[in-house]
Structure 1
Amino acid sequence: MWERYEEPLSLDEIANTAILSKFYFSRVFRNLTGTSPGRFLSAVRLHQAKTMLLETDLSVTEISYRVGYNSLGTFTSRFTRSVSLSPARYRTMARAGLTERSGPAHPDGGRRTCTVQGSIRSPETGCPVRIYVGAFREPIVQGRPVACEVLEGAGPFALRVPEGVWFIRAAVVAASDFPAPPWERRPLLVASGPELCVRHGHDSLPVRLVARPLTPLDLPILLALPELDSPRLPAPHVAANRVPSLTGA
């Protein structure tokens, strides 16, 4: 998928490459990545589209075709849903180094909220780091997190989320990258927790995250967690449910 994302890959073709039936392949793939082959391929395509939007002057239409979409409308709607900005606005704001502040991605709508307590461990990177922890509705890091926190190194965190099922994801970024252009900020390490069912009045087990290098099996990060923390803020901390823009690469 990473090498041939622009092609109209079918599940049968991908499964044949692994010499497995498509049903068994889909089950194994989901166990390893946390999502289906189709969702993973879509995430790879949108990730590549982000790079092209920032590093080339190709039109949005041309980029949509180059990442495997035959319909500009489909590409635009999926990009906007995943990245929280349209392709054109994403390009303009990210290149200008702008941010777009907003409230939580998913207002609780009257639902009771609960606090998810956790901690993250990270291997030594040789440089100061910032760690971005967010709660998402799906395994894919996309859209705005319902809650997030920015840490100045490994340690405890707390996220205030509505009742429901959430996925806790984190990225470790070199603090020396700031204020580098958004497209130059790349996670050094990532971390992910299991599916978390949060219910009011029921204590959930603490979330223990361990940061590690990215692998080809990791879902692409469709938003830039570093952009949760504007370089203009006085301190690198974003409290739960206080979510600035997500415009980076």
Structure 2
Amino acid sequence: MQDAVHRAIETMWNHYAEPVSLSDLADAALLSRFYFSRVFRQVTGTSPGRFLSAIRLHQAKGMLRDSELGVTDISYQVGYNSPGSFTSRFTRSVGLAPTRYRDHARLRNFGPLPKAPASDPRRGTVVGTVHRRGVVPLRNVYVGVFASPIAEGRPVSWDVLGPERPRFQLHGLPEGTWHIRVAGLDGSDQEYGAQHRMLIGTCPSITVRGAQAIELDISLRHSSVFDLPVLFALPEFDCRDRAVMAGAC
């Protein structure tokens, strides 16, 4: 079934600017609509519609960084019919309005993440290790807790791991079901040249009850076609200059 989902995701990347329906994607996958939706969620962890939306916003981030197109033009070029809807969705997912995102990206300065929640005896905590076997992060590795499988919006809790720090601590988690997502950029110049490939780590969703403490081990790996783009604005992902990404941002 992975081949079927792969075909659908390729269709999303190739036609994100167009009105792409569930039927179009199911046809590309050579599956019925009902079966396709179920299989797609099993493989990617989210729905076809959410995946397509993530691709559109990811492409919009690139256009804001690298082109002179206005926000309205970009909204149409990534498949939105309403600039207002695009701006609202972009702001909610990326954490900055499109114009502010463009300014920060061009100044190569997103600033530090806000201070993460402190330990709270009334709330849950997740601690664990990010294993980096076979991968070399460019600089930082980001660990965040999100309400959905997509790394979008401000995380509920987060930690930033440097080269010598594999352990993370995520404090202040309310009761509920959460998704832990880990992201970094590959620093292997020999393999990828100027284009840094994303490193990601995922695990099954967790359910927090009260002041519960949860221990996790997460392996960092190279991204694949089935992995969603990181939408939340992060310095290594959104500063294009290599020297900046290596230490100045």
Same fold (TM over 0.5): yes
Determine the structure 1 residue equivalent to 2:63.
Answer: 52
* Matching of residues 118-129 of structure 1 within 5 Å: 118-125=128-135, 129=139
Q: Is the CA contact (8 Å cut-off) linking 2:91 and 2:98 kept in structure 1?
A: yes
Larger helix percent: 2
Q: Counterpart amino acid of 2:45?
A: G
Pick from 130, 149, 159: which aligns with 1:149?
Answer: 159
Deviations 1:46-101 (A, max 9, x none): 00000000000011111111101111111111101101111111101221123356
Pick from 104, 107, 118: which aligns with 1:93?
Answer: 104
Q: Is the CA contact (8 Å cut-off) linking 1:171 and 1:187 kept in structure 2?
A: no
* Matching of residues 43-82 of structure 1 within 5 Å: 43-82=54-93
Determine the structure 1 residue equivalent to 2:226.
Answer: 217
Alpha-carbon distance change, 50 to 128 in structure 1, aligned in 2, over 3 angstroms? closer
SS in 2 for 1:134: strand
Determine the structure 2 residue equivalent to 1:196.
Answer: 206
Distance in structure 1 (CA, Å) of the matches to 2:200 and 2:213: 26
Aligned-residue Cα RMSD (Å) equals 3.3
Q: Counterpart amino acid of 1:165?
A: T
Deviations 1:199-227 (A, max 9, x none): 125443x2221111111111111024446
Identity fraction in percent: 48
Alpha-carbon distance change, 126 to 79 in structure 1, aligned in 2, over 3 angstroms? closer
Determine the structure 2 residue equivalent to 1:158.
Answer: 169
Deviations 1:34-54 (A, max 9, x none): 110001000000000000000
Alpha-carbon distance change, 52 to 80 in structure 1, aligned in 2, over 3 angstroms? same
Distance in structure 2 (CA, Å) of the matches to 1:106 and 1:138: 19
Distance in structure 2 (CA, Å) of the matches to 1:73 and 1:84: 16
Alpha-carbon distance change, 138 to 81 in structure 1, aligned in 2, over 3 angstroms? same
Q: Counterpart amino acid of 2:17?
A: E
Q: Counterpart amino acid of 2:129?
A: S
Q: Counterpart amino acid of 1:40?
A: F
Distance in structure 2 (CA, Å) of the matches to 1:200 and 1:26: 34
Question: Which moves more between the two structures, 214-223 or 126-135?
Answer: 126-135
Give the C-alpha shift of residue 129 in structure 1.
Answer: 3.8
TM-score (norm 2): 0.79
Count of residue pairs the alignment pairs up: 226
Q: Is the CA contact (8 Å cut-off) linking 1:104 and 1:145 kept in structure 2?
A: no
Structure 2: tracts of 5 or more residues without a match: 1-11
Deviations 1:1-34 (A, max 9, x none): 0111111000011101111111110000001111
Q: Is the CA contact (8 Å cut-off) linking 2:109 and 2:235 kept in structure 1?
A: no
Alpha-carbon distance change, 126 to 165 in structure 1, aligned in 2, over 3 angstroms? closer
Determine the structure 2 residue equivalent to 1:14.
Answer: 25
Q: Deviation above 6 Å: which 4+ runs of structure 1?
A: 104-108
Give the C-alpha shift of residue 175 in structure 1.
Answer: 7.1
Structure 1: tracts of 5 or more residues without a match: 178-183, 236-247
Q: Is the CA contact (8 Å cut-off) linking 1:185 and 1:226 kept in structure 2?
A: no
Q: Is the CA contact (8 Å cut-off) linking 1:60 and 1:87 kept in structure 2?
A: yes
